[in-house]
Amino acid sequence: MSIEVEKLIHTSQSEFQKIEVMDTKTYGRMLCLDGIIQLTERDEFSYQEMLAFVSLCSHSNPKTVCVIGGGDGAILSRLVMHPGIEKIFLCELDIGVINAAKEYFPQFNRGFDDPRVTVITSDGAKFLADHENFFDVVITDSSDPIGPADSLFSVGYFKIVHKALTDNGISVSQGECMWLHLDLISKLAGKCKETFNHVEYGSISIPTYPCGQIGMLVCSKGQSPKKPLVRVDEILSKEDLDSLRYYTTELHSGCFVLPKFIASVFQ
């Protein structure tokens, strides 16, 4: 797809990647890393809401949550809507992403400003390895498996995530596009099934990602994540519930209904 850019408002080269923020004609403000779209104001809510609330609603009582990556703060701003969470750790490798997001995407600063949130600039795998049996939920909001995010798609990484989770813990990770990365998805799912009780792939519609689709790999040490253990309307305030534009309790289950060519991987 092509997006008409009206103005480049920020560009910088961090230790890890090129960071750009642009104003576009039809998709609002857009964040790119190494030239790859990470989010736009027009459609970011679909991906962010699904990773946040599929994970939270698949756990009966999440108290401690970790986000690996996610330096733009978009998922973080959804997690803090849950009043029952006691601690949230955001572990982002690149402080440059956090700084750019805080300045150019202030709508997500609610997450950074919440007193339950601790921001750590570190390698995500190393951070998790130091916190065994600690997190109820781990969300891996990574870019594509090239450059800094490559290690977050390894079998070894998911073994670290498993150890970092408490009993009945939930892992939700950016799961790539089923039209382009079926081999990668199949390989990771197969290996994760050796460790987790349940491994599923949920599909998300988002126009500015390749093929207009992205997935999430959902791994559970407890019950199947296909049916929410808690309804979102039982958790959020009316104001926050009304602010959601994509996630619903019905879509929580519906996102796991897949085309035959990928559903067979998860049977």
Give catalytic residues, as residue numbers: 141
Grouping H, G, I as helix, E, B as strand and the rest as coil, residue 257 is coil
Cα–Cα distance list, 35 to 17, 18, 135, 175 (Å): 9, 7, 33, 20
Any bridge partners for residue 220, and if so which? 170, 198
Contact (CB, 8 A) for 87 and 115: no
- The string over 214-236, giving b where at least 16 C-beta atoms fall within 10 Å of a residue's C-beta and e elsewhere, is bbbbbbbbbeebbebbbebeebb
Contact (CB, 8 A) for 132 and 159: no
Residue partners of 215: CB distance under 8 A and separation at least 6: 174, 175, 176, 177, 178, 185, 201, 202, 203, 204
> What do you get for the CA distance between the two ends of the chain, in Å?
33
